[in-house]
Amino acid sequence: MTGSPPAPKSRFLILHDYGMGGAWWWVHARSPREILETFAEVEVVDSPEAIDWADQDLDEVDIDEPTMPPGLDGLRAKRDAQRGRPGFGALADRSIVHLRRRWDGDGDEPATYLMEVGSDGRRLRQVELSDDGTALKSGPDDWPFNPPVVDLFDPEWADMEIHPAEFEAAWLEARHVGSEQ
């Protein structure tokens, strides 16, 4: 008995958004999920405006090819390294995830961030808990950029998950980032 033939491939536009810009490719794959399972820190873009814009000279690759163009090769290697680790994909396929992350670097004051993240890895709401006890809440209207900040397949994020009630309690206690109180 033979298995069913593999699903046909379609052409998908993918983006690795690094905040102030991004790298784009066309990838032939069986599904958007296959792309997300194969490449770290990418999103499948399906807006008509982006697809019209992308009908330019972007690298076009088949997901099954052994070599990828520069940039995409590193994102595949990163995903390959994550795949066998506990927690890989544990947060994928969720519509909303709540996370706690400590941040001590890049010239910012140390703080703990509680984030509500959508299925695309973008923040929906955030509470910044400073070491001095200050709690500030913010949302997309407060941020000049809102690229995906969480790769929901990355196993490192699985240990940072918190209960939604913990996030909501912090949200209710925090003051809005623009308020004076």
List the domain range (segments joined by +) for residue 113: 96-176
CA separation, residue 168 to residues 6, 23, 53, 102, 158 (Å): 44, 35, 39, 18, 19
| Mean pLDDT in order along the chain per 10 residues (181 residues) | 78 89 94 97 92 82 96 97 96 96 80 96 96 94 90 97 98 88 55
Say if residue 66 is in the same domain as residue 113: no
Distance CA 177, CA 136 (A): 5
Q: What is the distance of C-alpha 160 from the center of its chain?
A: 14
pLDDT of residue 53: 83
- State the pLDDT at residue 178: 79
Q: What is the DSSP letter of 106?
A: T
The structure's pTM equals 0.87
Residue that is last in its domain, among 58, 83, 108: 83
Per-residue pLDDT at 162: 98
Say how many C-beta atoms besides its own lie within 10 A of residue 127's C-beta. 25
pLDDT of residue 173: 96
* In-domain check, residue 5: no
Considering the domain architecture, whether residues 23 and 79 belong to the same structural domain is answered as yes
Please tell me whether residues 74 and 102 are part of one structural domain: no
Residue 121 CB neighbours (<10 A): 22
Q: Is the sign of the CA dihedral 38, 42, 45, 50 positive or negative?
A: negative
- Is 32 part of a structural domain of the chain? yes
Of 56, 83, 110, the domain-final residue: 83
Count of domains in the chain? 2
| Closest by CA position to 50, among listed 72, 29, 22, 92 | 22
